[in-house]
C-alpha cells in the first residue's frame, strides 16, 4: 500500500478511473501475464487509479485465490504510481474475507459492492458496510446499485464511519444524489468522495458534475484510452465542443450498442480490448459473448471515435 491517503490521491484525479477487465487464457483460467500487461498499459496511458476485480473485472466470477492473485499483480503493475482499489462483496462474512485478501495483496482501498441477493433494510446495510470497514483496515468506497440503495440519512451515517471515505452511485437517481450530497455536506465535516458509477458514465457525467461529482468510472478507457482521456480533459478544461462531439459521435452510440445485449457492460468492453490487440479471452458464464455483428459495430465505432479526435485537433 502507498503511504499517501487514498482519499487525497483520488480527490483531484489527473485522468479517468481505470476498471481493467480480467484476462483469461486457454481453458478459461486467469492469465496473470496478460492481465499485468493490461493494467500496466492503462497506467502508462494516464489512468488516475486502478479499480481491480470490480464489475468490469468480473468479480462475481473469481475464486478467492484468483482474486488475490489479480489484485497483487495490479498492485505490482501500478508500482505506486496510482492507487489500486479492489472490489469486495457478497454476504458480510465473504465480503470481509475478500477485503482482507485485498489488504494482504497490497491494495490501497476497497470498492464495496452490494451484498449478494438479499434486499436489506437501511440498518442492515449500515451494519454490513461498517463490518467491512472495521475488518479490512482499508479505506472503503460504498457502491450504490441494484439491491443496495441508501437514504440520505444512511449515507450520513456511512460518512461518519471510520474507514468509509466515499460513495459511488450506480443508480442514476439525480434527485436522490442531490439530497445525499446536501445531507452529508450539512451534517458531516470534511471531504467525502462521490463517484458516478453508471455504465458508460461519461454519458451522464455532465449532469453529475452539476452536483459537484467529478469522479467517474471509465470502462471505455479499457479499450480506447485516447478517447477517454480526451473526454476527461474536455470536462476538466470546460471544452464543451469536444465533450459534445464525443458524446454525440461516440458515447451515445456506444451506450445504445451496449444496451443491445445483457451483460454487454462487461462483455462488449472485453471485446473492445481484444479488438485493440490484447487477447484477454472471453467472459466467464453466466455472461456471454457479444454477437458478431455487434463486435463489428464496435470496431467501426472505435475508429469513428478516434477520427472525431483528429477532427478536433
Encode pLDDT of 215-248 as tens digits: 999 999 999 999 999 999 999 999 999 999 999 9
The pLDDT tens digits for 41-68 are: 999 999 999 999 999 999 999 999 999 9
Residues 167, 158: Cα–Cα separation, whole Å: 9
Distance CA 92, CA 99 (A): 10
Q: Write down the pLDDT at residue 279.
A: 97
Element (H, E) at 169: strand 164-169
d(CA 280, CA 278): 6
137-151 burial: b if 16+ Cβ within 10 Å, else e: ebbbbbbbbeebbbe
- Select which of 24, 35, 143, 264 is catalytic: 143
Please say if the pLDDT value at position 182 is more than 90.
yes
Average pLDDT, the chain: 95
Q: Which of 35, 129, 168, 208 is catalytic?
A: 168
Helix (H) or strand (E) run with residue 84 in it: strand 84-88
Q: What pLDDT score does 243 carry?
A: 96
Instruction: List, for residues 64-79, the tens digit of each pLDDT value.
Output: 999 999 999 999 999 9
pTM: 0.95
CA 251 centroid distance within chain: 17
- For residue 312, is pLDDT > 80? no
Report residue 252: phi and psi, to 5°: -65, -50
Q: What is the pLDDT of residue 2?
A: 41
- Neighbour tally for 236: CB within 10 Å: 14
- N-terminal to C-terminal alpha carbon distance within the chain: 39
Q: Is 143 considered catalytic here?
A: yes
CATH number of 6-224: 3.20.20.70
Would you say 231 and 221 are in contact if contact means Cβ atoms under 8 Å apart? no
CA atoms within 13 A on the CB side of 7: 16
Q: Is the pLDDT of residue 313 over 80?
A: no
Q: Where are the domains of the chain?
A: 6-224
Amino acid at each position: 500500500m502507498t503511504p499517501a491517503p487514498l482519499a487525497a490521491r483520488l480527490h483531484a484525479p489527473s485522468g479517468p478511473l481505470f476498471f481493467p477487465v480480467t484476462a483469461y487464457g486457454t481453458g478459461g483460467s486467469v492469465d496473470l501475464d496478460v492481465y499485468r500487461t493490461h493494467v500496466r498499459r492503462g497506467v502508462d496511458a494516464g489512468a488516475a487509479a486502478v479499480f481491480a476485480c470490480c464489475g468490469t473485472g468480473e468479480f462475481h466470477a473469481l475464486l478467492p485465490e484468483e482474486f488475490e492473485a489479480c489484485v497483487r499483480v495490479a498492485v505490482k503493475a501500478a508500482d505506486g504510481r496510482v492507487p489500486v482499489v479492489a472490489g469486495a462483496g457478497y454476504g458480510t462474512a465473504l465480503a470481509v474475507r475478500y477485503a482482507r485478501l485485498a489488504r494482504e495483496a497490497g491494495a490501497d482501498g476497497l470498492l464495496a459492492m452490494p451484498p449478494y441477493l438479499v434486499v436489506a433494510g437501511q440498518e442492515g446495510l449500515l451494519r454490513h458496510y461498517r463490518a467491512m470497514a472495521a475488518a479490512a483496515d482499508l479505506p472503503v468506497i460504498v457502491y450504490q446499485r441494484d439491491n443496495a440503495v441508501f437514504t440520505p440519512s444512511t449515507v450520513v451515517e456511512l460518512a461518519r464511519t471510520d474507514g468509509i471515505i466515499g460513495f459511488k452511485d450506480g443508480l442514476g437517481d439525480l434527485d436522490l444524489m442531490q439530497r445525499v450530497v446536501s445531507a452529508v455536506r450539512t451534517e458531516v465535516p470534511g471531504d467525502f468522495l462521490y463517484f458516478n458509477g453508471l455504465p458508460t458514465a461519461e454519458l451522464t457525467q455532465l449532469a453529475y458534475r452539476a452536483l459537484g461529482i467529478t469522479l467517474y468510472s471509465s470502462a471505455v478507457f479499457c479499450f480506447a484510452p485516447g478517447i477517454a482521456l480526451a473526454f476527461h480533459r474536455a470536462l476538466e478544461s470546460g471544452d464543451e465542443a469536444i465533450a459534445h462531439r464525443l458524446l454525440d459521435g461516440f458515447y451515445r452510440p456506444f451506450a445504445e450498442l451496449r444496451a443491445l445485449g445483457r451483460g454487454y457492460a462487461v462483455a462488449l468492453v472485453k471485446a473492445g480490448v481484444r479488438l485493440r490487440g490484447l487477447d484477454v479471452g472471453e467472459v466467464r458464464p453466466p455472461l456471454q459473448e457479444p454477437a458478431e455483428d455487434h463486435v463489428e459495430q464496435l470496431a467501426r465505432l472505435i475508429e469513428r471515435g478516434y477520427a472525431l479526435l483528429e477532427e478536433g485537433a
